[in-house]
Structure 1
Amino acid sequence: QLSSRAADGRMMGSNNPGGAGGGGGMAPGTGAGGSDGRHDDEAVLTEFLSSLMDYNPTVPDELVEHYLGRSGFHCPDLRLTRLVAVAAQKFISDIASDSLQHCKARVAAPVKDNKSKQPKDRRLVLTMDDLSKALREHGVNLKHPEYFADSPSAGMAPSTREE
């Protein structure tokens, strides 16, 4: 797992969680100026990046390097590759969670035509509509055909197929 400092939100700018007044994490001999906060942020960032060397992300390093290379970004530092992998993992997790929420909302919506049409087993089936709604909330527009076919003649009557 990632270090606890990254998990508790310290990277986002908050310094010592228990130190009210800002004096808890200051090194001796440093003033209360703005440079101390920057030094603490750099130390937390350095520690976070070093913790990425021990972390094995869900998205493989090779996959991240492939897509970074396709976009023109080449970096030999494995820590940056893993940082992108963690960001991608977070994005995928958010999309999956939002899709699940859309699916639950769709299933919970009452059927207006006939109450007997409501399914008795409450299994959730994610649809492309659920996924596209979640992606749209994150700025990704997904356009998909109404159906998919293996070949242009799939679904046609055998007498009308051109082979």
Structure 2
Amino acid sequence: MREKPILYKDINGFITCSLCNGYLIDAATIPECLHTFCKTCIAAYLDNDEEDNTRCPKCDSVIDHVNPWRVLVFDRTLQSIAYKLVPHLYKEEIERQIAYCKERDLPYPPALVEKLQEKRDEEEPQTIPSNSDLHIYDDQVAICIESKSKDLQSLNICLVAITT
């Protein structure tokens, strides 16, 4: 198994949205150019009647003249990586969605209910049967964040791909 240290600043551009400059939330990718944005950011861009919303906001490549929504791909893998690399991002996003629903007296959407259940499941200790195959429960990418200094200014990240 090989470890290759990667600086946080080198991967930050891949997990941030160029429209809001925040970390990706519900990552949506345009297949023609592979640029990824937050779902709400690209939705606001596509719904804006004042702009030419049939082109990528980053590189200006044509998305779809008739229905740009049709070609968007929700990138669960990239979103999962963003949640792993940014501590507490997932938890804070769930809390923001809960607060939004509570402020407006709205019922929780089914996706939010699933996220809440996942969060509860993560907090509960898991018991794994002794005769089970342990690699099924492990993630395929391990991420280790290390600091060589006590002020935490420079973080080195080690991404380790686990292959079987």
TM-score range relative to shorter protein: under 0.3
For the pair shown, the structure with the greater C-alpha radius of gyration is 1
For CA contacts below 8 A with separation 6 or more, give which structure has more relative contact order: 2
Structure richer in helix, relative to its length: 1
TM-score (norm 1): 0.27
Structure richer in strand, relative to its length: 2
